[in-house]
Structure 1
Amino acid sequence: MPVSWTLLIVLALAGAGYLLTRMRAVAMAGGDTRKLHSRPGHYGWNAALLTALPAILLIAVWRFVQPAAGTALISMVALALAAAGLAFALIRTSPSFRARNAVEGMVKGLLIACASIAIITTAGIVLSMLFETGQFFRQYPWTEFFFGTTWSPKFGGGSQLGMLPLLWGTLYISLIALLVAVPIGLFAAIYMSEYASMRMRGVVKPLIEVLAGIPTIVYGLFAMITVGPLLRDWFSQPLGLGASASSVMTAGLVMGVMLIPFVSSLSDDIINAVPQSLRDGALGLGSTPSETIRKVVLPAALPGIVGAVLLAASRAIGETMIVVLGAGASARMGLNPFEAMTTITVKIVSQLTGDTDFAAPETLVAFALGLTLFTVTLGLNIVALYVVRKYREQYE
């Protein structure tokens, strides 16, 4: 029997258990629900949860541990467990049974399990990267990886896997993107929250948020076809800074446009959450609207704005398609923003794409790069948390 059929039967049993247990509880109370400890629906939900949850959990764990195991045995055990849960719920039902407490306890456990998934997933990702990174450093010196300035992977030997050019390209492109996104997004948020009418805000905010729904591959094509040639013909070639349409500036500008909604929408919500009493107090003391925004509203909203900028920075650091199509794949270090460069994410994809030997250092280096990227993002979170705590102590 397919697993999908088993799940459907389990859910049907849970629904039947809900109805049967609910009617049984009412019947045992002689039709007077006031004699029941809990509402009739709680008795039904107790049976439904006892029927469905153990069987579904068994199927999920079994398929994860033994994905090639026969479905017939899984189906038999799951259905038997569901039937046992239904029978136990029916036997347990009585007017004095605390069904509400039992249901709330099961729901609370389910919520805790759902909340734990994020923690367990994060731990699994970090541990997997640590294991594969350890395999890489057993084959390649860590000093050459962290401090090497040349990136030249060659399957078969003779590779130079210095990560500094990739880290430089990642930070350089992300910096340009943030220099575009943060001022524009923050000024747009200030306008929408403090100056725009409700009608104008209702038009402007959705239009800005449309940018967040555009696929990154479309941004990459826009960078490659339009922005790159435009920058080359109008700036880099006339100034003698380069003749390539793929450059750090191309990717940074387009990525910055993509990040504007992340900054503007979150900052707008945070600024609107600042109590109106702070604005009224500042205006009552003689401050102008611009002084109120600069000296009262923005400092009070600073923790949330820092969070918005951090989200945009994390998004920029992890972007791939815009960099591939807009900045090229050249691993180099330089200050010229009109030169082609690349990022860590691009090289992670390239090292894991195609027919590769997953035991070779040229492939395992992708996990070391991923762990480095994770560490950089974690550092940004720590800095942002410090700023948030500092200003919260001042304004709360």
Structure 2
Amino acid sequence: MTPGLLALIVLALACGGFFLGRFRALQMVGKDLRLLHSLPGYYGQTVALFTGVPALALMAVWLLVQPIVIETRISSMIPEADLPQGSSRDLVMADVRRIAYGLDTILARGAMSEASLSEMRADLSDIRSRMADVGVALGADVQPSVFEAAKAWRHTTGLARVGMTAATLAVALAGFGFATFRIRPEFRARNVSETFLRWLLIAASLVAIGTTIGIVLSLVFQTVHFFQLYPAQEFFFSLTWNPKFGGGSELSIWPLVWGTLYVSAIALAVAVPVGLFAAIYLAEYASKKVRGIAKPLLEVLAGIPTIVYGLFALITVGPLLRDWVAQPLGLGSSSSSVMTAGLVMGVMIIPFVSSLSDDIINAVPQSLRDGSFAMGATQSETVKQVILPAALPGIVGAILLAASRAIGETMIVVLGAGAAAKLSMNPFEAMTTVTVKIVSQLTGDTEFASPETLVAFALGLTLFVFTLVLNVLALVIVRKYREQYE
């Protein structure tokens, strides 16, 4: 049974439990609600929660642990002598998974029976032809042990799926029976339901923390592996980025960091003044009619896909800057440049600054405006000396969000700025960013055992640390001014 179908069955049981629990509580008191400790819905909620939550939690944990256990068990079946020269066990296990998928497809099409599969031995030519028929490509050297491991993988996965189905349904039915049996008129169903929901909400709130910890740990472990293969001093103190998957790579981070900062700085130089001035106008000067038209039109920019912005940069903005600015001034002849990507990215992040700043400015108490006007200040003086300082923490947050969006952008940089990693002050030259190189290093059939691939995790960790520093800096600024105006 597939996980999706199993989850639907559990949810159906939980829904049935809700109605049964409610009906049973009413039946016990002859529909006299005064005799119940809690409202009938709470009795139904208890049955539904005890039926669905433990079963779905078990299924989630099972799905997380199962691949790790199966991978470890099946990997031990392949001897070191059967690993292709220059390859790793991870690549061989990828072939095992592909063969197992191909066998499932062949059996589903009726091209082979279970009996013939169990009797089939490693006739490699027959295996390749059968796999090719279902669109599965195998590595160059497939050993008999790999085929046997694939059959074991398929068999073990099937058993694990059956076990997950049985265990999940057993837990759901046990919770269903336990909660139904506990229903009594004096049973404190409301207390149980609210306590259960409170812990459920706490668990949901911990998902963000757990996700962050998981991301950081995955980056740290792979980064440590990278520095075991590539010297850290070359990564941090060299100035050349030149990856070669055959060996002899130069993997310095600084050309990528420079490109990221350069493109982001131009984008913010466009977005912050335009977005902030637009927010001030919409909040303080525009009529309701103008605001009702202009604000939605401005926010449309946030809904345009980034690939469309990239195409706009490639086809329109890049050639325009090249023909009208770069070539006449002798600064370059390429339509791909930092300026192209920065300008288009700045337009894209204008709504991040304007919408949030507009909401923050509108949240400033009207009493501050009235007090300023009562002191004889003009509207512009009130905006400059009262409203903007009071709204500064929120405006800093909006600018930080826009900066994070600019730092993490990829498609606009690929199409607008190119992929050249270099250190240059000329904004009309092609450069690239950290995110672009993370994608390029992990694209294709990569092996997580070479520094050319693992460098993507070191770049990701560096980007994470850089964004964390920006957040801390913004927090310091916000706290300083919040103490002043609250």
TM bracket, shorter-chain basis: over 0.9
Q: CA deviation at 1:78?
A: 1.5
Structure 1 CA distance for aligned equivalents of residues 3 and 465 of structure 2: 40
Instruction: Indicate how the Cα distance of structure 1 residues 329 and 59 shifts in structure 2: closer, same or farther if over 3 A, else same.
Output: same
The Cα offsets for residues 16-74 of structure 1, whole Å up to 9 and x where unpaired, read as 22122112212222321112111110001111111111111111111221143532222
1:167 paired to 2:257: yes
Structure 1 match to 2:43: 43
Structure 1 match to 2:317: 227
1:10 paired to 2:17: no
Structure 2 CA distance for aligned equivalents of residues 242 and 102 of structure 1: 71
Larger radius of gyration: 2
The counterpart of 1:192, out of the listed 282, 289, 298, is 282
| Higher alpha-carbon deviation: 3-12 or 303-312 | 3-12
Q: Superposed, which structure 2 residues align to 1:311-350 within 5 Å?
A: 311-350=401-440
Structure 1 match to 2:363: 273
Structure 1 CA distance for aligned equivalents of residues 3 and 405 of structure 2: 38
Structure 2 match to 1:60: 60
Structure 2 CA distance for aligned equivalents of residues 242 and 13 of structure 1: 67
SS in structure 2 of the partner of residue 342 of structure 1 = coil
The counterpart of 1:92, out of the listed 182, 186, 189, is 182
The Cα offsets for residues 108-144 of structure 1, whole Å up to 9 and x where unpaired, read as 1111111111111111111011001001111111111
The percent identity for this pair of structures is 68
Structure 1 CA distance for aligned equivalents of residues 444 and 174 of structure 2: 50
**Counterpart code for 1:242:** G
**Counterpart code for 1:49:** L
Structure 2 CA distance for aligned equivalents of residues 4 and 198 of structure 1: 48
For these two proteins, the number of residue pairs brought into alignment is: 396
SS in structure 2 of the partner of residue 119 of structure 1 = helix
Structure 1 match to 2:378: 288
Structure 1 match to 2:306: 216
1:30 paired to 2:30: yes
Instruction: Indicate how the Cα distance of structure 1 residues 60 and 293 shifts in structure 2: closer, same or farther if over 3 A, else same.
Output: same
Structure 2 CA distance for aligned equivalents of residues 341 and 395 of structure 1: 43
| Higher alpha-carbon deviation: 224-233 or 352-361 | 352-361
Q: CA deviation at 1:89?
A: 1.2
Structure 1 match to 2:388: 298
Structure 1 CA distance for aligned equivalents of residues 308 and 337 of structure 2: 17
Structure 1 CA distance for aligned equivalents of residues 440 and 12 of structure 2: 48
The Cα offsets for residues 290-335 of structure 1, whole Å up to 9 and x where unpaired, read as 0000000000000000000000000100111111111111111111
Instruction: Indicate how the Cα distance of structure 1 residues 9 and 158 shifts in structure 2: closer, same or farther if over 3 A, else same.
Output: closer
Structure 1 match to 2:20: 20
SS in structure 2 of the partner of residue 138 of structure 1 = helix
| Higher alpha-carbon deviation: 57-66 or 254-263 | 57-66
TM superposition score normalised by structure 2: 0.80
Structure 1 CA distance for aligned equivalents of residues 364 and 232 of structure 2: 48
SS in structure 2 of the partner of residue 316 of structure 1 = helix
Structure 1 CA distance for aligned equivalents of residues 381 and 317 of structure 2: 37
| Higher alpha-carbon deviation: 66-75 or 237-246 | 66-75
Unmatched runs of 5 consecutive residues or more in structure 1: none
Structure 1 CA distance for aligned equivalents of residues 445 and 247 of structure 2: 17
Structure 2 CA distance for aligned equivalents of residues 176 and 249 of structure 1: 7
Structure 2 match to 1:142: 232
Structure 2 CA distance for aligned equivalents of residues 185 and 237 of structure 1: 30
| Higher alpha-carbon deviation: 182-191 or 76-85 | 76-85
Q: Superposed, which structure 2 residues align to 1:357-372 within 5 Å?
A: 357-372=447-462
Structure 1 CA distance for aligned equivalents of residues 422 and 162 of structure 2: 57
Structure 1 CA distance for aligned equivalents of residues 308 and 42 of structure 2: 51
* Structure 1 stretches of at least 4 aligned residues deviating more than 6 Å after TM superposition: none
**Counterpart code for 2:295:** K
Structure 2 CA distance for aligned equivalents of residues 346 and 9 of structure 1: 43
Unmatched runs of 5 consecutive residues or more in structure 2: 68-156
Structure 1 CA distance for aligned equivalents of residues 10 and 455 of structure 2: 46
**What's the Cα RMSD here?**
1.1
